[in-house]
Structure 1
Amino acid sequence: MFAQLLTPDYAPFAIAFVVMIGIGLIEAIGLGFGHLDLHGGIDADADGGLLGWLGLGRELPILIWLTSLLGCFALVGLAIQQVASAFTGAPLHWGLAVGSAAVVGSMLNTLAANGLARIMPGFETSAITTDELLRRRGTILEGAARRGSPARAKVVDQHGQAHFIMVEPHQDEGSIAQGETVLLVRREGNMFFAVPDRDPLLRSI
């Protein structure tokens, strides 16, 4: 069976399945970034529009939707090839099978995505942008943060979700030790810059 999945007629569906597993691992491991930018949702203004038809009109996180789509595509594709082999003795040409699986898989994913959006309300309301972590406090977890030598920090957002980010001191000559609490004041790309709570400027905040 494994060798069969490597043939051209089955390969697109095997690749889709591997990518789906890869996305799941990225979500599970977090790659050191926690939930940052991984749960971005797409909001469709009208449920009857194209995005709504695709299942993206309910603020379902894009990676959850993509994982569902890949899974539906792979399962439908494998089913099509198995049925074709049972009736004709050979699978369909990969191009024909991919086209059919894309259409049927998209329709199936619409039902799956709408179902997921209903049973996972926490995802609908807790997706945040990276900039929303600014002006929040975090804790340095590993090592000391210095300019040019960031440290890993944990920040909890307004929904109680933990985010793991890389932090450098806001001041060029500053240093923040492991275990210290900091206030995130700005960011550049994926790098956040913070002021330690011991800074006199924060005593009244």
Structure 2
Amino acid sequence: MLFAAETWPFTVATFLLLLIAIVEGVAMVVGSSLSQSLQHLLPDPGDMHAGLFDKLLGWLSFGRVPVLVLLVVFLASFALTGFALNLVVRQLFGFWVPPLIAVIAAFLITLPVVRFAGAGLARVIPQDQTYAVSFDSLVGRVATVVNGTARVGYPAQAKVPNEHGQILYVMVEPEAEGMTFQSGERVLLTKQLAGNRFAGAVNPWPDLI
């Protein structure tokens, strides 16, 4: 059933779960985090307006539970629901469910599963572990470039602690032409450019942690 042509969406979801586990394991080894990177791709919960997509994110507990956890729950539920549906129909009627119908049914079943799982996890995960902080609160903090060389218009990845002491990953570039930031260099974040992208200057307090 895993490799049947009709169940390919659920096979893809299963392999995505495995890929996430591998990437997160590698990221932990190199001192990064897939969860934080995904969090940066989505809007800050405090900046969301009352749009339909934003309401859906709130309903799914986005901002109260790390986005990677919600993604894993979604993929696992989607894959299991799709395989279970096909297994039952195959056993009873002797044919696979058409992929489009199976995907729609699995998706509609998965959404409330993610909703209830997220609500439950939000009660046991400390609030300061959700990384739901505003990026502009990082201005004035000192970040450390972790890889690449940053130039104006070509940011490099850097890590910076937030007010909870958690390490977040941002993109930083020099605020002035002619400046560069090398890997390992400590940089003062002076301005938020867009999302998790910041302008920075040479740290005037090199001993500041």
TM-score clears 0.5? yes
Equivalenced residues, count: 193
Q: The residue matched to 1:10 in structure 2 has which SS? A: helix
Q: Which residue of 2 aligns with 1:105?
A: 110
What is the match of residue 87 of structure 1? 92
**Match of residue 39 from structure 2:** 38
Say if 1:25 and 1:129 are closer, same or farther in 2 by CA, change over 3 A.
farther
**SS class of match (2:106):** helix
Cα shift at 1:137: 1.1
Partner of 1:75: 80
Q: Distance in 2 between the 1:25 and 1:11 partners?
A: 21
Q: Please identify, of 149-158 and 75-84, the stretch whose mean Cα deviation from structure 2 is larger.
A: 149-158
Are 1:17 and 1:71, in contact at CA under 8 Å, matched by a contact in 2?
yes
CA RMSD for the aligned pairs?
Answer: 3.8
Local SS of the residue matching 2:159: strand
Q: Is it true that 1:12 corresponds to 2:9 in the alignment? A: yes
Equivalent position SS for 1:183: strand
Shift of 1:23: 5.2
- Deviation of 1:81 after TM superposition, in Å, equals 0.7
Are 2:149 and 1:115 equivalent residues in the alignment?
no
Q: Normalising to structure 1: TM-score of the pair? A: 0.69
2:187 to 168, 182, 191: 182
Deviations 1:63-112 (A, max 9, x none): 43233223211111101111221222222222332233223222322222
User: 1:69/1:141 Cα in 2 relative to 1: closer, same or farther (>3 Å)?
Assistant: closer
CA distance in 2, matches of 1:72, 1:185: 43
Note if 1:3 corresponds to 2:3. yes
Compute the displacement of 1:55 (Å). 3.4
- Please, what TM-score do these two structures have when normalized by structure 2? 0.68
CA distance in 1: counterparts of 2:9 and 2:38, whole angstroms:
28
Q: Residue 39 of structure 2 aligns to a residue in which SS?
A: coil
Structure with greater Cα Rg: 1
Contact 2:61 2:122 in 1 (8 A): no
Identity, in percent, stands at: 30
Which residue pairs with 2:199 in the alignment? Answer: 193
Contact 1:42 1:59 (C-alpha < 8 Å) held by counterparts: no
2:107 aligned counterpart, secondary structure: helix
Q: CA deviation at 1:145?
A: 4.6
| 2:64–2:127 CA contact under 8 A, matched in 1 | no
Q: Any conservation in 2 of the 1:54–1:106 contact (CA below 8 Å)?
A: no
Verify the 8 A CA contact 1:154 1:163 in the aligned structure 2: yes
Distance 1:139 1:52, change over 3 A: closer
Distance verdict in 2 for CA 1:56–1:143, change over 3 Å? closer
Q: Does 1:60 align with 2:62?
A: no
| Aligned-partner Cα distance in 2 for 1:133–1:53 | 24
Q: In terms of mean alpha carbon deviation, does 156-165 or 169-178 score higher? A: 169-178
State the alpha-carbon separation in 2 of the partners of residues 130 and 110 from structure 1: 26
Report the Cα distance in structure 2 between the residues aligned to 1:25 and 1:142, rounded to whole angstroms. Answer: 21
